[in-house]
C-alpha cells in the first residue's frame, strides 16, 4: 500500500504541497491532504499527462493556485459539490510571465493534451480588477471530454460561455 507523504514529489516539476496549500484552509484550520491513494494516483496522472506537458510547451513554471481540495475546504471556497478538485483530478493555475487568456487559448487548441475540462476563468475583485486563471482537469479512469469553457464571475453574477472567450476586463 502506498503511503501518503505530505511532501511527496508527484512528477519531476510538481510536488504535493503545491496542490494542497491553501490560505483558506490554514485560516480555518481545515485538513487538506488527500486521504486515499486514488487521489494521489489522480494527482500524479494530472501532473504526468497534462501539467508536465503544459510546462514543457511554454518552457516556464506552472504555478498552481488551487489543486486538491478536501470536502470541507471545497465547501469553504464555494466549489461545486462534484468538483474534480475533490478527487485530485483538477488544478487551477497560471503560467509565469504569460497572459492567462493566451495560455488557455493555446491549450484549448493543443491536439495532444488529454484534458477533461479546460476553463478560462475570470473573477472580478472588490477593487475593480480581475483575477484570471486556467482550470484544467484530467480523468485517470474513463474518457476525457476535451470540454472548453469560459467562466466570468463578478457582482453581476456568473456567466459560462463555450470556448475560450475574453472577459471585458482584459488582462494587464
Contact 55, 13 (CB under 8 A): yes
- Kindly state the average pLDDT of the residues 34-54: 97
Least confident of 22-31, 130-139, 153-162: 153-162
- Kindly state the average pLDDT of the residues 30-36: 95
Domains of the chain: 11-162 (3.30.1380.10)
- Kindly state the average pLDDT of the residues 114-131: 94
Strand 14-15, strand 62-66: pairing = unpaired
pLDDT of residue 44: 98
- Per-residue pLDDT band for 126 (boundaries 50, 70, 90) equals confident
Amino acid at each position: 500500500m502506498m503511503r501518503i507523504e505530505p511532501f511527496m514529489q508527484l512528477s519531476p516539476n510538481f510536488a504535493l504541497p503545491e496542490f494542497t496549500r491553501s490560505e483558506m484552509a490554514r485560516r480555518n484550520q481545515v485538513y487538506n491532504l488527500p486521504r486515499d491513494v486514488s487521489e494521489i494516483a489522480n494527482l500524479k496522472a494530472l501532473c504526468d499527462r497534462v501539467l508536465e506537458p503544459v510546462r514543457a510547451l511554454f518552457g516556464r513554471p506552472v504555478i498552481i493556485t488551487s489543486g486538491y481540495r478536501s470536502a470541507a475546504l471545497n465547501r469553504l471556497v464555494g466549489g461545486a459539490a462534484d468538483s474534480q478538485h475533490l478527487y485530485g483530478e483538477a488544478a487551477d493555475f497560471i503560467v509565469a510571465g504569460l497572459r492567462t487568456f493566451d495560455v488557455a487559448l493555446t491549450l484549448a487548441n493543443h491536439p495532444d493534451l488529454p484534458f477533461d475540462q479546460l476553463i478560462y476563468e475570470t473573477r472580478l475583485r472588490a477593487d475593480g480588477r480581475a483575477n484570471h486563471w486556467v482550470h484544467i482537469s484530467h480523468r485517470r479512469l474513463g474518457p476525457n471530454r476535451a470540454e472548453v469553457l469560459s467562466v466570468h464571475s463578478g457582482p453581476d453574477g456568473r456567466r459560462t460561455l463555450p470556448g475560450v472567450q475574453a472577459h471585458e476586463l482584459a488582462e494587464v
